[in-house]
Structure 1
Amino acid sequence: MSTHPTLPQTQQPGPEAAERIAQHRRYLMCRPEHFTVSYRINPWMEPARPTDTAKALRQWQELHDTYLRLGHEVELIDPVPGLPDMVYTANGGFIIDGRALGVRFRVPERRGEERPFMDWFAAHGFEVIEPVEVQEGEGDFLLVGDTILAGTGFRSVGDSHREVADVFGREVVSLRLIDPRFYHLDTAIAVLDPVQGHSGVDRANIAYLPTAFDDHSRAVLAERFPDAIAVSDEDGAVFGLNTASDGRNVIVSPRAVGFIGQLRDRGYIPVPVDLSELLLGGGGIKCCTLELRG
């Protein structure tokens, strides 16, 4: 049984924490029983570098147990031999109000994951929509209030943004990624609070890495999220933005020291969890976490 010590002083809430409300989450995760790096589909992956599956499992378990300790639900999908990236469940779909849009991976190495995820959604009561366009689920689609932020540039194609708008009947804001290290939107933006501000202006509920986006996308983010946290290149480079938040507690890489300080200053409670072994496959906390919105 895991034990969870009291958070050290650097992780205690800032002065605004009383205003932050933790909201219950339901997540889908997949044990990295078959995790390895045997191919290269992003700049983080080096097949010649040894990976430690046992260490990946320990780190993943700590993330899993942290969600439970914070009062959230975690569902599990069975890992499939030969699909080492199934641990990155965020790429398995996008779910709002009980509707699950499946994925079509750009890279052939991951296409075997598409059917197992859609089958899991159907077996657990979700209405499944088979996708037409290439897109990689919650890796490139992030829900902020009633708006979907949608990434393109490396994996999901622009036409998938129209498809996701049609499926969910939501406003979709397209953002272009330009740094291949940040190939999915969830590596460059963290949704910290689901509450959308008044009059179409969103107040301090995202953090993002400005250098990961083109000029137009940076302008869109600055206009729509004037109080967003701008994260440094140093914190972005350790996948600091690949986080999961319940509106109060933010699960974050312990190496993103500056971002941790920014979170505390805004009244969030950083909860560091180290997924360094899974980063060897190009994934972090959010990559391992798909939100099941019923």
Structure 2
Amino acid sequence: MSSIITKPDELRDALKNADNMPLPDQVLMVTPDHFSVDYIINPHMEGNVGTVNPEAARWQWEVVRDKFRHLGLKMHEITGQPGLPDMVFSANQSLPYVDSKGHRHALMSIMHSDQRKDEVPFFEQWYRQNGYEIHYLNPQEINDFEGMGDAIWHFKKRLLWGGFGYRSSRKAYEHISRTLDVPVVILELIHPSFYHLDTCFCILNSDSVLIYPPAFTKDGLELIHTAFSNVIEAPEKEAEELFACNASCPDGRKVIIQKGCNEVNKALKKLGFAFLEVDTSEFLKSGGSVFCMKMLLW
């Protein structure tokens, strides 16, 4: 069922025909042993080089980890490595999935920035040790693809939403669609502060999504509104300064989100969601929050 989706009618058909997929029941995180801001590869890092408080970062990371544990997900950890301060953002280095027979797979990323390319082998090693079949993109054909930072599974469906424009190439999704045999809805990102899809697009359940509209083209917004009957729009301050849309809703009911996103939380409550606030302020300095800090998998 491979295809690249760019039009509402195509999306309606794809959602109707897409196979069901179980929700992830496990989480992979990277310990923040070496997390810091050592360079600038996104607008949020500006002015934050050398400002991370390691003790505060460790405490914040443990609170996020424990929130996922309390929601009943099995936790796995990879030890952070020296010289790889952004490895802690474990959503970026791979795209895991489970096929219709229950077999587990992982597609490895091609990181956009040279500073992050050496992160990927540590994740590949973990996947191999845990019985996943590994897949690769051809670096001769595809410049970059940053895993679930840009490729997000639809709720309980074998259908991907793929962001491109900053960290992932549009062409990558043609290969991904063929390799995984799934349709991919592509969304062009147009705001430099929202360089990954997971910074401006958070799927809550099959009917609801949280977005920051200025991050998308008009066509992209039309696709989003085609798929979701409830579209929560985060205000600028909460989206850009607090990374509201980098929340995570692993069970379709409870949303783990950076504290202070008051307008978004009101909208979540109105739709019947519970919100679990955490402090990720040290990680915001590097351009990441809850979703970036974990990888949901099977």
State the TM-score, normalizing by the size of structure 1: 0.86
Deviation at 1:49, TM superposition (A): 5.1
Instruction: Indicate if the aligned counterparts of 2:93 and 2:111 stay in contact, CA closer than 8 A.
Output: no
Identity %: 31
Residue 10 of structure 2 corresponds to which residue in structure 1?
none
1:150 counterpart SS class: strand
The Cα shift of 1:164 comes to: 1.4
Report 1:1-16 matches (<5 A).
none
Q: Structure 2: which amino acid aligns with 1:211?
A: P
Residue 255 (structure 2) aligned to one of 228, 250, 254: 250
C-alpha displacement at 1:231, in angstroms? 2.1
SS in 2 for 1:104: coil
- The one-character-per-residue Cα deviations of 1:209-232 (angstroms, maximum 9, x if unpaired) are 111111211122122223222222
Q: Distance in 1 between matches of 2:36 and 2:68?
A: 24
- The one-letter code sitting in structure 2 at the alignment partner of 1:240 is A
* Aligned mate of 2:106, from 100, 105, 108: 100
- Which AA in structure 1 matches 2:192? P
CA contact (8 A) 1:92 1:290 kept: no
Could you say what the CA RMSD is over the residues aligned between the two structures, in angstroms?
1.3
Distance between the aligned counterparts of 1:54 and 1:255, measured in 2?
A: 22
Residue 39 of structure 2 corresponds to 39
Alignment map for 1:157-168 (pairs within 5 Å): 157-168=169-180
- 1:135-154 CA-partner distances (Å, limit 9, x unpaired): 00000000002320000010
Partner of 1:14: none
SS of the residue corresponding to residue 293 of structure 2 reads: coil
Given candidates 112, 124, 127, the residue that maps to 1:118 is 124
Which of residues 149, 172, 194 is equivalent to 2:161? 149
Q: Is the 8 A contact 1:239 1:253 kept in 2?
A: yes
Q: 1: CA distance between counterparts of 2:262 and 2:166? A: 28
Q: Tell me the equivalent position of 1:259.
A: 264
Aligned equivalents of 1:48, 1:207: Cα separation in 2: 30
**What CA deviation, in whole Å up to 9, does each residue of 1:104-140 have, x standing for no partner?**
0111000011111111111111111122231000000
Give the equivalent residue in structure 2 for 1:13: none
Q: Distance in 2 between matches of 1:224 and 1:289?
A: 25
1:139–1:184 Cα contact (<8 Å) kept: yes
| Deviation of the 1:207 alpha carbon | 1.4
Match of 1:236 in 2: 239
Aligned equivalent of 2:15: none
The CA distance in 1 between the partners of 2:167 and 2:224, in whole Å, is 20
Contact 1:27 1:290 in 2 (8 A): yes
Listed one character per residue, the Cα deviations across residues 171-206 of structure 1 (whole Å, up to 9, x for unaligned) are 10000111111100000011112x4xxxxxxx22x2
One of 131, 145, 150 as aligned partner of 1:135: 145
Letter in structure 2 aligned against 1:239: F
8 A contact 2:24–2:297 mirrored in 1: no
Contact 2:38-2:50 at 8 Å conserved across structures: no
Equivalent position of 2:91 in the other structure: 90
The corresponding residue for 1:10 is none
Amino acid at match of 2:287: G
Work out whether 1:191 is the aligned partner of 2:203: yes
Map 1:65-80 to 2 at 5 A. Answer: 65-80=66-81
